[in-house]
Each structure stands twice: as structure tokens, then as C-alpha cells.
Amino acid sequence: MRQRRLIAGATAFGLITGAGVLTLPAAQADGPSVLLNEDFEDGSFTPLTLNGGSALSVIDADGDKALLVQGRANDYDGIRTPAGLLQAGGAYTFSAQVRLSAAAGTTTSARFLVEPAYTWVGNTTVSADAWTTVTGTFNAPAGADPATLRAYLGTGDLGAPYDYLIDDIVITGTAAPGDGGAWQPTPDPAFVPGGAANPTATPVTAARGTGNAVALTFDDGPNPGETAAVLDLLRDKGITATFCIIGQNVEAAGGADLLRRIVAEGHTLCNHGTSYDDMGPWTQSQVEADLKENLRIIRRAAGDPTLEVPYFRAPNGSWGATGDVAAALGMQPLGLGNVIFDWDGNDLSEATLIANLRRAFTPGAVVLAHDGGGDRSNTVRAVTTVVGEKLAEGWTFTLPGGGAAPAPVAVTSGFETGTDGWTARGDGVTVATSSDARTGSGSLLVTNRTQPWHGAALDVTAGLPVGVAVEVSVWARLTPGQAPASLKVSVQRNNGGGSAYDGVAGAGATVSADGWTQLKGTYTLGAAADSAQVYVEGPVGLDFLLDDFSLAPFAEKPIQTDVPGLKDVLGADGIEHVGVAIDARETVGTAADLVRRHFNAFTPENAGKPESVQPVEGQFAFTQLDQLLDFADANDVQVYGHVLAWHSQTPAWFFKDGARELTNSPADQALLKARMKAHIKGIADHIDARYPEGNSPIWAWDVVNEVIADGDTANPHDMRDSRWFQILGEGFVDEAFRLADRYFPEAALFINDYNTEMPEKRADYLDLIRALKARGVPIDGVGHQAHVDVARPVQWLEDSIEAVEALDPALLQAITELDVNASTENQGADVSGAPADPYSPAFEDDADAAAEVGYYYRDLFAMLREHSASVESVTFWGISNARTWLRTWPMARPWEQPLPFDDELQATPAYWGIVDPSRLPARPADVLPPRIADQTDIAAVSNGASGAKVAYTLPSAIDTLDGVVPLVCAPASGTRFPVGTTMVTCTATDEAGNTRTSSFDIVVTRKQAGKR
């Protein structure tokens, strides 16, 4: 104990995130209780556990005991709390004493981190000179998983491994209001869960797969006679089954050998208790003790202390509390399914059991037979007969639902003997084998493509288990005579009547006819899909060859836990919502860890767009959106909805009456308004039904998106001539906001657009917003997409933010789709347009490009922090550089590094530009020319043939390093311009000598005679 020698340290740092449920007696729920108090005076650090690779020992220090952490090499090296200590909805205070075991004057930082979101709590400077208190508070969200909610002590880097001391660790907490706490297992740091993926307390009774598939299960073994015979049969037939194991039978003569054979031959294990005792009336603690003991028996016999036993089946089908306990211990309860009544007291004749087993074989059934518990020889005979029959009929054998995640099936295609299952994607497309091969003698030729998404596709449903990262690779080559062009690999996943389309991260490249190019990337299926196919796509009309395709598991690198969360850093600076665009891929695995660690909000990248939500009139498809909302609910993350009305990714039926295109007639306007209402109301009705108490995580909506054109139009405010505008005029924006306000009264309602930092588009955007305000339209906020590049001046975006602040200080502002490209071109973000191709990298060296992007983020966020009073939210458009849309749009751009995390989800210079610019690498040489704002053409009228003097305002010219730079335009302002069109060329040069030119026209017309 060293309570008298404390030095005041940290206050709370960060706060909301994480997971857990506090198990407290009801009488204690109103006040905090001491959950853990460890002073190491007994020479032990139990129940704390080792975290990382350092060595732990209790030593004498300053007159009493302390824990020495030796060889700390990583942030997480030290100690960790046991599973189940922290609970969902709980409020906690952490405290510990820390002192470095190092030279006098040495300092670093220490803090608690709470998994799985790795939330920093109580970040504090600690030293070798005295004991420092590290303390802070943490609120766990409701609905989180206590098994993954664990805290550890993290420490800062000193450049080499070092030692430090810990003492007086105290954790106090209270349960969520009114929550007595759900039952949780006894904290046991040595316990290894059963291995089921997301087990539930409800017993599963259906098999995996579709059609004539069953899950064959055997209870009460292992039994030396019958189990061996069953294993012989299964081996000979090439099928696998699930065996529900009783511990006392494993410990009987021959039992351990049979268990090892079951495991060695690829069968799945199920915990059936240590004995035949009925667990139905048992307490949770009794069940817990028995199931843990049986796991110990099974694993000891198998010689594998972490062996997966992903299922549990209650003896005699008597469940009681067993389902809850099994799920909490990592085992999926397995229902009886279709039984064959092969236990004592029934007719156990061979003929009867054969008849019973035939009846039990129904598509998708779990079938239960016994290989132990008595003489089961007739069961073995019945299984032998019926399994043989069913195999001949084409039945397949699979696992029960739930349980362990299925291993991905490696998929390869060499096209040596045919198309290997690849099919044409799109009407008229042809796929055929070709002798022009990269390896071997065959490849796949794809021709007659008339849409970008046309190509060749392969069903890979079996190769994409949920949450398992896979690497996808295929080699491509264009047919002779074609210019180089970009190809990419994508995945279509079908679920609930709707389809989603995902790019395979990194699998895009420029391909030529001169040689083979590899398209290689990674993909993770985020949620269960009815089916999934991989396909290769590219520009219309392109013919290409494919060869040497493979899809195989990929080991992901863990996220960094020794860097602060973006949401914590920016939240402390006043930016409330720190978000990221995601789809289902980011709700599982390492990407989900990164979301939980760094973000407190997200935007559905595609799942909320009109074509995803209502692909056919009146047929709403919410599966994709619900998958994301499930993730938001489980992790206490808010959602920025995107998007209710947009010109792109909106089905054509919105704007048609049958085959007829709608016009601006009153009848057609009424029809389109009704469709807009039905669409917005349909989404709202679904959200209201899902959240009847009004606790939806959706805090904001993009009501309309990209309504301003990039150049001059004949429409008011230079509005985009979209189908919405053509039919309803400017009023479609008003209508969308009024409907959104009616059906989403609690959400903040935003208008959103790209290039809002460009001076001319800024003026049009503000004009429209000013008009909406004047008409009383219920607009709450203004979105700036901020798809920018390293040469686009931050000052222009600040000018736009300040202009909105001046227009109405009450308007919220959001950076909605942030990324920073490093290309020489930036054609904006109009995915429906035709931007310039090719782009090219602004830097020869990728490391230089990454560094410059980091400096851009430094300057950008320094500006945003100055405007945190109005900037409510910042959303990054993608979880990582591998997932950025810029890598494949409008062509392959592998050099792009526009986001804070790299292809492996590690921090980039962009991250450090936001969090700690002192850690940026040296800035590269200045190779970026200044940026000159676009200038529209100027019209003038001459009274005579000599032309007219025209004065014009010089456009803005800014360099990212040098600021405002001189601009020279010729002919100069005030020059007499002749009748006709004269090009004005403007030139800006920065201090490094980089030069940019831009131009605009002055058009002089002669006044007609007799006109005044």
C-alpha cells in the first residue's frame, strides 16, 4: 500500500465507448461498489492476468509489495482485467499507481485502455522519480458483450524495452440504472471459451446450407464399439458429423483414443456434460462448473488446451439455465432436432430405427442419433443403411447452424479444361476459353461487354464465411489492339431480395494488351449473404482475358492500440461526431476493431441510397441497412443517414410512368412527389418500427445531395439539371426537406455537395441555402464533402465555412466525405459524370505523397478546430487506403493514400497530421504548383467596332506552402477587348518555381443599331 505517497495525476480522458454489464446485487445498484482492489501484498496478482509478452513478478518496492513489469516492448505489455468484470451499462472509475523503473528524470505516459474499442481512460504523464496516480472514468454502453470488455494498463514508448512498477489497482463501478445485471461466468483468466462465433442462448435446430442438406449429430459417446463403427462409416463415405461428448466416457477405457480420432478425422465437438445427469434443475453456477470441467476433460484428452468445442447439447433435452450458461461460455446450444428414438424404452429394432432415420432426413434438419449410453449397434446399422441411401440420392452433410465460423473454401481457376464455373455477367456478354494463357494452356476470354459492370462472374458463396478476410487474385490482359484501361474485381452479395456491390480492396489496376497484370486485394464478408459472386469489370467495350484466379484466407494485421482514438482527440477539441463511411465489411473483424477504436459515428456508404433501399417501386429492402444499424446498436455508435434524394444511384422507375419518361406536367409532378413521400416515409416507418421508443442511432440525414452543378447552367443557382429538377424544379429540394422534417423530426437535416470550397460553386451553394431559409424550409445543416487534393487550398474551405457562419450562425456544418488525393488532377466527385482520364500521381515517390497528405491534414484540422463551434461532424470517406473509392475511380490509381489508415489499418502520416504533427516525416520538396480558382467567362457589349474596355476581378491563387501568390493575367484587366472571343490566360508561380496556368474567355458582342 502506498496511499500516503500519491501524486495527483490524470483526469478522465475520452469516455464513451467499449462494452460490458455490471453484476451487482440490487441493493448496491444505486452506488459504486469496489469490483477489484489489488495491492499485491499477498505476493500474487490474481485475478489480473498477463497481457502481451512482458514478464510479471511481485517484488518489494518502497517498503511494500508492487508488481514489476519487465521488458515492456509494446503499449499493451503488462496486466489486464479478467473477462466478465466489466458489464454493459456500467459506470466505472479506474485507478492505479505507476512508476518507471528507469533512470531519474525519465518520463512517459500511462493510461487504462478498455477493449474492444481500446478507449483511452486517464492518460497521464508518469516518471521514474515518484509514484503517479493514473485515474479516469468510463461508461460502458448497453448491449455490449462482457466477455470482450476488458481493461489493461497501457504505457508510452521510450524507444527501447523498459521496466515499470504498478501498485494499488482499484476499479469501482455501478450498474446501469434499473439494471440488476445479467448472469455472467465467474471471472477466470485461464478459461478458454468453446469457440462458437456469436453464440445465442436459443438452441439451433437447423443445418447450414440449402436444399437436401442435413447435420448429422451423435450423442452420449465416445463408446468403444459403436463410436468406432460410426467413424469407420463416416470415413469411408467421406462425410463429417458432430459428436456430443460426455466426459465420463472420455475418461473410461478407450475413450480418449476415440476422442482423438474424432478430432483427427475432422469432426466437430459438442459439450454434453460430464455425465448423464439432468441439468434442467441446476443453478447457473452448477451448470457453469460442469461445462467447464467437461471442456477440461475433452481438451486434456485431445492434448490441445484451446481445442474448439463450439456446441452444447443439454442431456435428455432438459435445458433449464443451460442455454444461457453455454452461450456465455462460448458454446452454441444445439437443439435435439429430428430424433430417431434410439434410447432405452423405445423399439430399438434395426427396421424401426431405419424407418425413423429415413423420416428424420428432411431438408435443413439437425438429425440426432446415439453412439453411446447403451447398446447402440442397431443405430449404427440404421445409420449405415440410410446414409448410403441418402448419398446415392444426392444429399449432403453439413454442420448445424451457429457454432464455429466455417473455414473458407479456397477457390482457384486455371481454365485448363473449361470455364471452371465462370459465367457471363450481363446480357450479350460472351465468356469462352482461350489458348492465350499466362500459365498452362488455357485462359478465359470475355467479350461483347456493353455496360461497365458486364464481365465474367464466379459464385464464391462457399469461399466467403462471415467475418473471415480473404485474399483475391486474378491475372488480366487486354486482347490485341486495345489501349491500356482499368479493370477491377468486385463482389456482388445478395440478401433479402436486394443486392450490394463491393469493390475488392486493392484489386484494381491499369491493364494492357502487352502483358499480364495482377489484380490483387482483400475482402471480408460482413454479414450473412444468400449468395455471393466475384466478378471483373471495366470500361464499356473492353475485351479481356483472365487467368490464374485464386481466393484464399488472409491473415490480417491487428490494429494499433498504442495510439489515441480519433474520436477522443477530436472530441476533446469540440468536434462531436467523428465518423467514417462503412458497409457490412467494417462490422466484423479487424476493421470493426478500428471503427470501435477511432469513431463514434458512421455513414452507410451505400446501404441508405435509393437504389439499395427501394430497387423496385413499393418493394423496400432494408437488410443491408439493418446490418449496419445492428452494429451501431451493439457499439453505441451514431449514424449519419445518406441519402434521401439524389440524382445518382436512384432507380429509373422514380422518373417514369411505365416506359414513359415523366415531364413537368402537373400530373407527373404529383406522381413524383408521391413517390418521394412514399420513399422517405417508407424508411421512416421501418426505423420507427425498429426503434419504437425513439432511440434510433440516426442523428442526421443528407436530405438532398449534389444539387449544384460544377459550371454555369440555365437553372437558378446553377442547379444540376437532374431528373428531379427537370420534373419538379427547384422546389424538389423544399419538398424533400419538408418530408424529412415530418418523418424524421428528431434528426438534423443536411444539404450536401462536393466542391463547395471552390469559390464559384460556393456562391451558388450559398445562394440556394439563402433561398431555402427565406422560404422557411426546415434545413438544419450544410455539408461539405471535402473530396480534396493536396494542392487545393485549405483557405478556400475555410472561406466556405465562414460564409455559412455569416449566413446563419445557427446552421450546423459537417465535413461529410473527407479524403485527400495526391493526383495531378481532381475532377471532383461526380460519379455520374465523365472525369478526365488518365490521372497521374503528383509525386514520384509514394512516401513523399503520404507525407504531403499528412501535412495537408495538419493544416486542414488546425482550421477545423478553429471552427469547432459550427463544425458538428467530420466523416472520413473510407476506413482505409485500401478501401478508398479513389483507388479505382475513374481509373486505377494505386498511388492514392487519402485517409488516416493504410491498407493494413495502421496509422499513416495523415493520422499523425491530425493527432500529433510533431510525428510527421520531413516534408518533401515542393513540387505542387499553386491552385487558381475557376473563373467563368465574362460577357461585355461594345457600342462600336473598336470593342470594349473590360475590367475583371483576378481569380484567387493560393499555394499550399506559400499561401497567396502573385497572379498575372493577360490581356490585363481594363484592356480594350475586340468584338468576338478573347482568351485570358492567368499564370501563378510559387517560391519553388512551380507554375500553373488557367484561362477564361471574354466575349464582346456589338450593340445592335437602334437598341438602347
| DSSP code string of 746-806 | TSEEEEEESSTTSHHHHHHHHHHHHHHHHTT----EEEE--EEETTS-HHHHHHHHHHHHH
Highest-pLDDT range among 145-149, 189-193, 341-345, 903-907: 903-907
- Let me know the angle formed at the C-alpha of 672 by 773 and 656, rounded to the nearest 5 degrees: 140
Question: Is the CB of residue 464 less than 8 Å from the CB of residue 531?
Answer: no
**Which residues is 498 bridged to in the sheet?**
495
Instruction: Check residue 410 and report its DSSP letter.
Output: P
pLDDT in tens, 380-438: 999 999 999 999 998 999 999 888 766 667 899 999 999 999 999 999 999 999 999 99
Query: What percentage of residues in the chain have a pLDDT greater than 90?
Result: 70
> Rounded to whole angstroms, what are the CA distances from 289 to 146, 295, 834?
19, 10, 66
According to the model, what pLDDT value does residue 318 have? Answer: 81
Is residue 757 part of the annotated active site? The answer reads no
Run of H or E residues at 398:
strand 396-398
Q: Is 1005's pLDDT higher than 90? A: yes
Comparing 101-105, 440-444, 472-476, 660-664, the range with the smallest average pLDDT is 101-105
Comparing 187-196, 812-821, 933-942, 989-998, the range with the smallest average pLDDT is 187-196
According to the model, what pLDDT value does residue 85 have? Answer: 85
Q: Is 905's pLDDT higher than 50? A: yes
According to the model, what pLDDT value does residue 211 have? Answer: 82
Cell digits for 893?
490509381
**Which residues is 354 bridged to in the sheet?**
none
CA-CA distance, 200 to 198, in Å (whole number)? Answer: 7
Comparing 33-47, 854-868, 910-924, the range with the smallest average pLDDT is 33-47
* pLDDT, greater one: 782 or 321: 782
Q: Is 13's pLDDT higher than 50? A: no
> Rounded to whole angstroms, what are the CA distances from 719 to 338, 712, 730?
64, 9, 8
* pLDDT, greater one: 174 or 284: 284
DSSP string, 22-50: ----GGGTTS-EEEEEE--TTS--TTSEE
Comparing 61-70, 158-167, 173-182, the range with the smallest average pLDDT is 173-182
Q: Using omega within 30 degrees of 0 as the cis cutoff, is the peptide bond preceding 224 cis?
A: no
According to the model, what pLDDT value does residue 401 have? Answer: 87
Q: For residue 781, give the nearest of 799, 801, 798 by alpha carbon.
A: 801
CA-CA distance, 216 to 383, in Å (whole number)? Answer: 10
Question: What is the rounded average pLDDT of the residues 694-708?
Answer: 97
Q: 964-971 long-range CB contacts below 8 Å, 24 or more apart?
A: 965/930, 965/989, 965/990, 967/932
Confidence of residue 208 (pLDDT cuts 50, 70, 90): confident
Confidence of residue 321 (pLDDT cuts 50, 70, 90): confident
Is residue 753 part of the annotated active site? The answer reads yes
The residues near 125 (Cβ < 8 Å, ≥ 6 apart) are 9, 107, 108, 109, 132
CA-CA distance, 525 to 584, in Å (whole number)? Answer: 7
The residues near 323 (Cβ < 8 Å, ≥ 6 apart) are 201, 202, 203, 314, 333
| Average confidence score pLDDT of the chain | 89
Question: What is the rounded average pLDDT of the residues 817-827?
Answer: 86
Query: What percentage of residues in the chain have a pLDDT greater than 70?
Result: 93
List the catalytic residue out of 179, 219, 706, 990: 706
> Rounded to whole angstroms, what are the CA distances from 262 to 6, 221, 236, 265?
57, 11, 14, 5
List the catalytic residue out of 115, 168, 753, 789: 753
* pLDDT, greater one: 870 or 13: 870
Burial of 277 (0-12, 13-18, 19+ CB in 10 A): middle
Comparing 28-42, 733-747, 901-915, 919-933, the range with the smallest average pLDDT is 28-42
Burial of 13 (0-12, 13-18, 19+ CB in 10 A): buried
Residues 734-762 as b or e (16 or more Cβ within 10 Å = b)? bbbbbbbbebbeebbbbbbbbbbbbebbb
pTM: 0.66
Cell digits for 559?
490494429
List the catalytic residue out of 817, 872, 902, 959: 817
Question: Among all chains, which residue has been given the C-alpha cell 473598336?
Answer: 946
According to the model, what pLDDT value does residue 346 have? Answer: 84
pLDDT in tens, 940-986: 999 888 999 999 999 999 999 999 999 999 999 999 999 999 999 99
Cell digits for 385?
443403411
Is residue 706 part of the annotated active site? The answer reads yes
CA-CA distance, 646 to 732, in Å (whole number)? Answer: 11
